[in-house]
Amino acid sequence: MSAQILPHEVLLDDWFVALREVEPGSPAAFFDRDGTLIRNVPYLADSDEVCLERGAVEALSAYRRSGFAIIVITNQSGIARGLVTPAQYASVNQRMINLLGADLVDAIIACPFHPEGVAPWNVPDHPWRKPATGMIDAAASRFGVDVARSVLLGDSVIDIEAGLRAGIGHLIHLGTGHGQRDRAAVENLSRANPGTRISCLASLQSLEVEELAR
């Protein structure tokens, strides 16, 4: 007997948007969206409010030159809560891509599920919702990226936890967005996992290009 396919599993294909081909075996730079690439606006639904974080274009360009695939992974509970429509979410993404440059993003993966949402989005402990690793796992499966040589950048402790669980080689916590709120928790996580490279930076502007591929 085949396993039952749940409605939320059918919906997942709609939330993995591949924009470019990725060479199998490449490392990936996994970026959170809100508070990392763009300014954090709670439940962002208006594309006119999209504003890039300083250094976003330069950071993505540097990773691109260093041979990294660039993949955005983002929790979007506003969709589950009925505060953001799928069309508004897509419009925000398109505005972000327009500002970044179309050749700088290979894929955008989102988790629209949240236990406090409305059906069909009210899924408890969804495997794609960070700090779970589902979005990273999906990218690795689809593109064949080398997770161990990859890097993850985010402003929240749950970003860093997801990268740690997935076995990403370098985790970078940024002080933008929720970064200042979560910095102490990330530092505690770093001390508890001395074998994992976790860097704490003020912003994307603090990235040193020569350090990116190490």
* CA–CA separation, 162 and 175 (whole Å): 18
DSSP string, 25-73: T--EEEE-SBTTTB---TT---GGG--BPTTHHHHHHHHHHTT-EEEEE
User: Mind telling me the catalytic residues?
Assistant: 32, 34
- Three-state SS for 97-153 is HHHHCHHHCCEEEEECCCCCCCCCCCCCCCCCCCCCCHHHHHHHHHHCCCHHHCEEE
Output the CA angle 143-67-65, nearest 5 degrees.
Answer: 140
User: How many other CB atoms are there within 10 angstroms of residue 41's CB atom?
Assistant: 14
- H/E element, 199: strand 197-201
**3-state class (DSSP) for residue 160:** helix
Q: Which two tokens stand for residue 194?
A: 């001395």
